[in-house]
Amino acid sequence: LADELTLFARLPEEDWERFRRLAGNRYRIQIKSEGGVRPLFLMLRKRRATLAGLLLFLALVYYQSLFLTEIQIEGYESISEGELREALAAAGFQEGAPKSMDIEEVKLALYREFEELVWVGVSYRGNLAVVSVAEGENVAPEVPGTAVCHVTARAEGFVEEVIAKEGLAVVEPGDYVREGDILISGIVPIEDKSYGAVADKPTERYVHAEGEVTARTFYNYLVFQEKYEIQKEPTGRKSFGLRLCWQGGSFDTAAFFRTESGLGKKQWRKALGHGVEEERVLLKLARPFAFSLSFVKTTEVELQRAERTQESIEAEARTQARKLIRKNLPENAEVVNNSLSFSSEENIIRVVVMLQALEEIGQEKTFTITIQPPEEDGAEGGTEELAESG
Length of the chain: 390
Report how far residue 320's alpha carbon sits from residue 57's, in angstroms, rounded to the nearest whole number.
55
Strands 128-135 and 70-74: parallel
The predicted structure's pLDDT at residue 296:
86
Backbone dihedral angles phi then psi of residue 193, each to the nearest 5 degrees: -95, 5
**Quick one: which of 306, 315, 317, 378 has its CA closest to 352?**
317
Evaluate the CA torsion angle 147, 149, 155, 157 in order and state its sign.
Answer: positive
Reading the chain (390 residues) residue by residue, the pLDDT tens digits are: 566 677 777 777 777 778 778 777 777 777 777 766 777 677 767 777 777 787 888 887 777 778 888 889 888 888 888 889 898 888 888 888 888 888 888 888 888 888 788 888 888 888 888 998 888 754 434 444 457 899 999 999 999 999 999 889 999 999 999 999 999 998 888 765 444 544 455 577 888 899 999 999 999 999 998 888 888 888 888 888 888 888 778 887 766 544 444 333 333 333 445 677 788 888 887 776 788 888 888 888 888 888 888 898 889 989 988 888 888 888 888 888 989 999 988 889 999 999 999 999 999 988 877 655 555 544 444 444 444 344
Q: In what order do the strands lie in the sheet with 157-166?
A: 176-177, 157-166, 210-226, 348-360, 334-344
What is the pLDDT, as a whole number, of residue 2?
60
Helix or strand (DSSP H, E) at 370: strand 370-371
CA distances from 232 to 270, 271, 279, 310 (A): 20, 18, 18, 19
SS3 119: strand
